[in-house]
């Protein structure tokens, strides 16, 4: 039996406690300072109010003041905070990490530096740890299509566990894999993390189509919808993911596997990014659409805002092709400048990601 501590009692962090507990491990679920009501309900009723499920047997709730005790003696520390909470987690959890522990990141995103480079969130977390701690723990992350409610409902879920340290992956897989939680392993940290960061804004883009269709009155008398538009946006999303993954040194196979195509597909099927996309597609400017979702963190918006400063600097420096990311640029205009949700489809697929033959590219 292992000890697994999950920091962040949101839906995804809590969902991971189900396979861990089903495997007979001691599982400690630690709420952040934003999760006090969740932890109160978990303690009083053993019921998670957002997942709407009873906690699995063996899961013990802790509040954020108990982080030192919860981390003490853990084999794996899972970080289930949102992307805005990574710096907080490094300060709150980092000093209590112990030699030999594994930090497993559920948090998804990229961060721009003032020097105009993009950083993976596992690296952002690691860089903020005391050096003596950073050198004595290992880091891993999870990527792939995993809706929290389905995983907590013990429905088949397929993901990739990734780490630069290949030797820890069999152990992690053994700790979490169950008959319903299917795990593959990879060392392509760049590919996985870039994909899982970008799938949120691109899912928002695909979600725009729902609102655009409603705005036009829905399907026409012959039943025509806008699946063609959604498919083009989905395909362009994968092309832009592939371009950034290649530039940053990741593997293209990751884009067309679970962390890229798989996670993008499942994220387009619902959730906060899709709801925001619908509102924008209906014609609401972002400043009004955000008022329709009070208190909700839309990771797709956060990701665009976090990524674009570095992207723009890299384009200016010639490190990125300025024509390669038209959909990401359009999303940035929509969510930061209240631009209308429209796309220039003639700019799509101008720069294919893996050196396509000249004859297959669009004429200039």
Say how many C-beta atoms besides its own lie within 10 A of residue 52's C-beta. Answer: 10
Which of 297, 332, 307 is closest to 11 using CA atoms?
297
Phi-psi region of 182 (alpha: psi -120 to 50; beta: other; left: phi over 0): beta
Long-range CB contacts for residues 62-66, cutoff 8 Å, separation at least 24? 62/28, 62/29, 62/30, 62/31, 63/30, 63/31, 63/35, 63/36, 63/39, 64/30, 64/31, 64/32, 64/33, 64/35, 64/36, 64/92, 66/30
- Residue 72: both structure tokens together: 């003490």
Report the C-alpha gap between 198 and 331 in whole angstroms: 12
What are the phi and psi torsion angles at 47 (to 5°)? -135, 130
Query: Which of helix, strand or coil describes residue 163?
Result: coil
CA distances from 342 to 105, 151, 212, 285 (A): 35, 35, 9, 12
Residue 261 near residue 164 (C-beta atoms within 8 A): no
- Residue 9: both structure tokens together: 């009692």
> Kind of pairing, strands 138-143 and 181-186?
unpaired
- Return the HEC string of 229-278: HHHHHHHHHHHHHHHHHHHHCCCHHHHCCHHHHHHHHHHHCCCHHHHHHH
> 215 catalytic, yes or no?
no
Catalytic position from the list 199, 215, 319, 323: 199
Active-site positions? 199
């Amino acid at each position: 039996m292992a000890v697994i501590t999950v920091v962040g009692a949101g839906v995804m962090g809590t969902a991971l406690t189900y396979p861990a507990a089903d495997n007979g491990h001691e599982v400690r679920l630690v709420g952040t300072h934003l999760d006090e009501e969740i932890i109160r309900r978990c303690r009083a009723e053993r019921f998670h109010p957002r997942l709407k499920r009873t906690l699995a047997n063996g899961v013990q709730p802790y509040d954020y003041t108990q982080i030192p005790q919860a981390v003490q003696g853990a084999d794996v520390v899972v970080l289930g905070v949102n992307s805005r909470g990574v710096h907080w987690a490094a300060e709150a959890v980092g000093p209590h990490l112990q030699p030999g522990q594994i930090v497993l990141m559920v948090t998804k995103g990229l961060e721009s530096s003032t020097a105009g480079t993009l950083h993976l969130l596992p690296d952002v977390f690691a860089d903020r740890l005391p050096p003596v701690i950073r050198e004595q723990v290992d880091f891993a992350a999870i990527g792939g299509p995993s809706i929290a409610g389905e995983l907590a409902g013990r429905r088949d879920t397929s993901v990739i566990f990734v780490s630069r340290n290949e030797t820890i992956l069999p152990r992690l897989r053994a700790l979490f894999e169950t008959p319903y939680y299917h795990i593959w392993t990879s060392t392509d940290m760049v590919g996985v993390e870039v994909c899982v960061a970008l799938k949120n804004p691109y899912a928002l883009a695909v979600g725009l189509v729902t609102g655009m269709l409603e705005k036009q009155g829905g399907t026409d008398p012959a039943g025509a919808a806008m699946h063609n538009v959604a498919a083009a946006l989905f395909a362009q999303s994968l092309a832009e993911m592939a371009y950034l993954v290649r530039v940053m040194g990741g593997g293209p196979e990751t884009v067309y596997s679970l962390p890229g195509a798989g996670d993008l597909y499942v994220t387009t099927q619902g959730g906060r990014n899709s709801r925001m996309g619908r509102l924008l597609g209906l014609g609401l400017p972002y400043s009004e659409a955000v008022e329709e979702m009070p208190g909700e963190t839309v990771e797709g918006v956060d990701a665009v805002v976090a990524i674009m400063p570095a992207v723009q600097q890299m384009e200016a420096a010639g490190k990125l092709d300025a024509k390669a990311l038209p959909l990401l640029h359009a999303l940035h205009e929509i969510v930061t400048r209240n631009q209308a949700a429209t796309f220039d489809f003639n700019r799509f697929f101008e720069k294919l990601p893996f050196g396509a033959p000249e004859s297959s590219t669009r004429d200039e």
